[in-house]
């Protein structure tokens, strides 16, 4: 849907020092991994993964003008929500291995809730630079077989989350993989999945202006993330030269990730 709905922020939760979740009553149906265009009055409109646990919510990392404005909002403030857009994760053979780092859990958390309804087992490899930046650690601990990695060793295994994921794959039969997080991380996950012959899906993030395929600002190797994605299969990603290497600036120029 392309209608803009105005919603009131009912609750705010601080997830990490740089990440907040904003809860509101929207009520539209959506699938795990889809996104909404979120309008911040007088500032901008940006894509955000949408999830639902009681209330609908978006999870926001502070990293620019729009996200800083969302972080400054209080309960009772209003934002605009347009969508849902894009395709969704397919919950395939289990156990499903989820590999997430940074703010990637914002895209994957609804898949966790959906997998629970379908009685699918999830092993989650959650990574961050430090313990305090582990997103949704408690929620994932309650819903999945959680494994943790931090770059500095402050929680779980010291090292990259991709190294942890490889250990899991080599020691347990994994049916399929879902991943979202920094693109360099996801590229490594896709390479591991190809080597081990495991189906994989990854959620891509690109600069996006419209969400409906008009502006073409989210293009990657001829695909539009807003319409062809944001979820792409391993086979699709293997054909993309830009994946894990380049992103686009606001004016459409390629720059290295």
Residue 120, helix vs strand vs coil: coil
Tokens matching residue 28: 């539209």
In whole angstroms, what is the distance from residue 81 CA to residue 45 CA?
Answer: 9
Q: Is 99 exposed, middle or buried (0-12, 13-18, 19+ CB in 10 A)?
A: buried
| CB distance 130 to 156 below 8 Å | no
| Alpha carbon of residue 189 to chain centroid | 15
Confidence band, pLDDT 50/70/90 cuts, at residue 254:
confident
Q: What domains are defined for the chain? A: 4-85 (2.40.30.10), 96-256 (3.40.50.80)
Q: What is the pLDDT of residues 210-220, one digit of tens each?
A: 999 998 899 99
| CB distance 241 to 229 below 8 Å | no
Q: What is the pLDDT of residue 251?
A: 76
- CA proximity to 97, closest of 126, 132, 74, 131: 126
Q: What is the pTM of this model?
A: 0.95
| CB distance 51 to 113 below 8 Å | yes
Query: Quick one: what percent of the chain has pLDDT higher than 90?
Result: 89
Strands 231-233 and 219-220: what pairing?
A: unpaired
In whole angstroms, what is the distance from residue 181 CA to residue 198 CA?
Answer: 19
Give the residues across from 247 on adjacent strands: 255
| CB distance 26 to 7 below 8 Å | yes
In whole angstroms, what is the distance from residue 172 CA to residue 166 CA?
Answer: 10
Q: What is the pLDDT of residues 58-107, one digit of tens each?
A: 999 998 899 999 999 999 999 999 999 999 999 999 999 999 999 999 99
The angle formed by the CA atoms of residues 68, 114 and 235, to the nearest 5 degrees, is 80
The separation between the first and the last C-alpha atoms of the chain, rounded to the nearest angstrom, is 32
How large is the angle between the packed helices 161-171 and 183-196, nearest 10 degrees?
A: 20
């Amino acid at each position: 849907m392309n209608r803009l709905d105005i919603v009131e922020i009912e609750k705010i939760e601080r997830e990490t020092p740089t990440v907040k979740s904003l809860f509101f009553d929207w009520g539209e149906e959506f699938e795990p991994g889809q996104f909404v265009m979120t309008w911040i009055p007088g500032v901008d409109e940006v894509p955000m993964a949408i999830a639902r646990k009681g209330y609908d919510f978006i999870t926001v990392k502070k990293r620019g003008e729009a996200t800083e404005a969302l972080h400054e909002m209080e309960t009772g403030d209003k934002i605009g929500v347009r969508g849902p857009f894009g395709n969704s994760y397919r919950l395939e053979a289990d156990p499903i291995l989820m590999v997430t780092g940074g703010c990637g859990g914002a895209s994957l958390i609804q898949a966790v809730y959906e997998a629970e309804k379908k009685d699918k087992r999830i092993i989650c490899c959650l990574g961050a630079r430090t313990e305090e930046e582990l997103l949704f650690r408690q929620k994932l601990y309650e819903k999945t077989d959680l494994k943790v990695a931090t770059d500095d060793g402050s929680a779980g295994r010291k090292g990259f989350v991709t190294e942890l994921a490889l250990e899991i794959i080599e020691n347990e039969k994994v049916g399929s993989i879902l991943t979202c997080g920094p693109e360099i991380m996801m590229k490594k996950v896709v390479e591991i999945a190809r080597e081990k012959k495991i189906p994989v899906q990854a959620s891509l993030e690109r600069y996006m202006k419209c969400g409906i395929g008009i502006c073409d600002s989210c293009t990657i190797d001829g695909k539009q993330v807003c319409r062809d994605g944001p979820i792409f299969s391993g086979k699709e990603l293997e054909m993309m030269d830009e994946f894990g290497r380049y992103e686009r600036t606001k004016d459409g120029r390629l720059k290295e990730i």
